[in-house]
Structure 1
Amino acid sequence: MTQCEKTESILVLGAGELGFEVLRHLARQTQTTQGTRINVLLRPSTANSTVPAKKREIDELKEMGIEIAEGDVVAAGGNELAALLAPYDTIISCIGFSAGPGTQARITRAVLRAGVKRYVPWQFGVDYDTIGRGSAQDVFDEQLDVRDLLRSQHETEWLIVATGMFTSFLFEPSFGVIDLERDVVHALGSWDNRVTVTTPEDIGRLTAAILFHEPRFVNETVFVAGDTIGYGELADELERALRRPFSLEAWSVSSLDDALSTEPDNNLLKYHAVFAAGVGVAWPKTSTFNHQQSIETTDIPTWIHRHLVE
């Protein structure tokens, strides 16, 4: 690196299920990109954990050449958080909804206050612009607040990666869409409704590829997809792989609205209602960055074979 070349620093907020994959693939990407340093912000209790599994993760991050910074995004005040973020050129937030309401907008305000050059917010999900405000899932409105904050300024570049649902969540028993004990697929809205899903590993790999893509993506949403599938097709894939019949039961929009009126604070019902509406939760795989770049991703049949076939 010559004296006139400047080292670029990237800070990833969090190293959970998604954050770890983003970090791993950024580290791989920078093996061929000189002058880029990868950092991760962890709570002090996590960075210095003596829990064996967590310690192994921290050691693995260090072995990949990732530098550990300590700070608590949730506990820090606005000015303190901005000061934590200011030394870095690019911030990628992998701190999701579990951090609590208001966290996404608070991080975004701190990024803008810090004058960070480029920001990838936690928007690894559905097409919030298309869904719009006032949906059944009220936390989605904060995602639109974040977009409004970013679009209202011109100093910090932003990049949103729309991924759909985590693939594993579609199969999560608590989500209720797939009941492997009863061999039932519950279609959200109708059998023909579709859903886009992507694995955290693919999200990490694609986010790294998008971040370093030339020409550079500036102030735009980039869509990716591991797969986009209808609920009827999902039942067919399960039957084919597991070699037993599956029945389909549709949860209509009206039935989910009725259930929500009885349990207005039920978070899973809120997600069910949004996906049943069938708006902004799916897009053709052929229109995605990974398809255009011929990057293979884990589709539904592959995920089923890896995780459900004995």
Structure 2
Amino acid sequence: MASQSPVPKKVLVFGATGLIGKFILQALVDKKSFEKIGIFTSQETAERKKETLDRVRDEGVEVVVGDVNKEADVAKAYGGFDTVVSALGRNVILTQISLLDIAEASPTIHTFYPSEYGTDIEYAPSSATEKPHQLKLQVRKHIRENIKELNVTYLVTGPYSDLYLGKLPGKAGEVGSFDPKEKKAVLLGSGDDRVSFTTMKDVGKLLVAALKTEAKESPRALIVNSFTTTPHEILKEFEKQTDAKWDVSYTTLTILRKSEKEALDGGDPLATMYTLRRIWTEGGTLYESRDNGKIGEPKTETLEEQVKNAVEKEVAGFQSGIL
């Protein structure tokens, strides 16, 4: 790795208009302590999300339009920045290999954050065979074998509570679901299995805190989260905030594993969701310790706040006719 860990000052984000990228970008903008913030986007996205990009430009963000698969476009973009933050989605994760190689050769880029937000893909020996981990594992392997000059950080956040504490329609509800309108819940496992969650807003906040903290090794993995809880504790908070007793059913680990296998064998798009939630329920987010303290212990959202958001979102959607 590089002999020192320079402080990131000019940050370029890939995938900034995606699910988690927009939260990361907003946290960077809100911090107001970076000399320059930019996003790299395609011509198609620039046209399709024109209003979104106009809004981020108004916040002082530089929008770089180019082809992520063209080395010349990426290298040119890198020239104005010193740090790359990737929020690319699971389907294009391997694109990061070329982004890393171009960054390694860049005279300006010294820091790179790959798209790692989620379950630790090297948590245990069994992690090496989990299907959803395979592309991210290829990226980590490439970094270990080929990236020598960049300071690389994996920000491991565990699952997003915003997505878990909500209603899932139809068969998807088998993998855990909370419906504030109908006062119904499907709990995973025994209901007492602990899971560490991170809110999507906190992913951005924790990443910014990490950027502001010296990296003493590379690659480094930072295990961070917002809170640790159980399905029963989540249910209790929902019942408290809705002032009602909910109708509850369970998807045991045995059923979850059976559904996962059927989904994998049948090419069901829900297969990844089954696998990830089976990993959580088995304890795959219960790390020996978390690293929030290493990055200044930024204040994170609570379970109570997340449930409040979920209830308000569901009620507002129902009243406006969205649901």
Please give the range of the TM-score, normalised by the shorter of the 2 chains.
Answer: 0.7 to 0.9
Does the Cα contact within 8 Å between 1:82 and 1:113 map onto a contact in 2?
yes
CA distance in 2, matches of 1:269, 1:194: 22
Deviation for aligned residue 1:291: 8.9
Could you tell me which residue of structure 1 aligns to residue 10 of structure 2?
Answer: 9
Does the Cα contact within 8 Å between 1:42 and 1:71 map onto a contact in 2?
yes
Deviation for aligned residue 1:7: 9.3
The 1:172/1:140 distance shift into structure 2, 3 A limit, reads farther
Could you tell me which residue of structure 2 aligns to residue 235 of structure 1?
Answer: 235
Query: Aligned letter for 1:226?
Result: S
Deviation for aligned residue 1:233: 1.0
CA distance in 2, matches of 1:113, 1:55: 28
Please tell me whether residue 161 in structure 1 is matched to residue 150 in structure 2.
no
Could you tell me which residue of structure 2 aligns to residue 83 of structure 1?
Answer: 75
After superposition, residues 276-295 of structure 1 pair within 5 angstroms as 276-277=278-279, 278-283=282-287, 287-289=290-292, 293-295=296-298
Could you tell me which residue of structure 1 aligns to residue 94 of structure 2?
Answer: 105
TM-score, normalisation: structure 2: 0.78
Deviation for aligned residue 1:8: 4.6
Could you tell me which residue of structure 1 aligns to residue 3 of structure 2?
Answer: none
Return 5+ residue gaps in structure 1 as ranges: none
- With 260-269 and 231-240 compared, the bigger mean Cα shift is at 260-269
Could you tell me which residue of structure 1 aligns to residue 167 of structure 2?
Answer: 173
Could you tell me which residue of structure 1 aligns to residue 225 of structure 2?
Answer: 225
**Equivalent residues, number:** 289
Does the Cα contact within 8 Å between 1:199 and 1:226 map onto a contact in 2?
yes
Does the Cα contact within 8 Å between 2:13 and 2:39 map onto a contact in 1?
yes
Deviation for aligned residue 1:248: 4.0
CA distance in 1, matches of 2:154, 2:185: 31
- With 222-231 and 249-258 compared, the bigger mean Cα shift is at 249-258
Query: Aligned letter for 1:58?
Result: L
CA RMSD between the two structures: 2.9
Query: Aligned letter for 1:121?
Result: P
Could you tell me which residue of structure 2 aligns to residue 60 of structure 1?
Answer: 55
Calculate percent identity across the aligned residue pairs: 20
Partner SS state of residue 130, structure 1: coil
Return 5+ residue gaps in structure 2 as ranges: 1-5, 316-323
CA distance in 1, matches of 2:118, 2:287: 12
The 1:290/1:61 distance shift into structure 2, 3 A limit, reads farther
How far does the alpha carbon of each residue in 1:286-309 deviate from its partner, in whole angstroms, 9 at most, with x for none? 734169734221222111113304
Residue 277 of structure 2: which of 268, 275, 278 is its match?
275
Deviation for aligned residue 1:128: 1.0
The 1:81/1:107 distance shift into structure 2, 3 A limit, reads farther
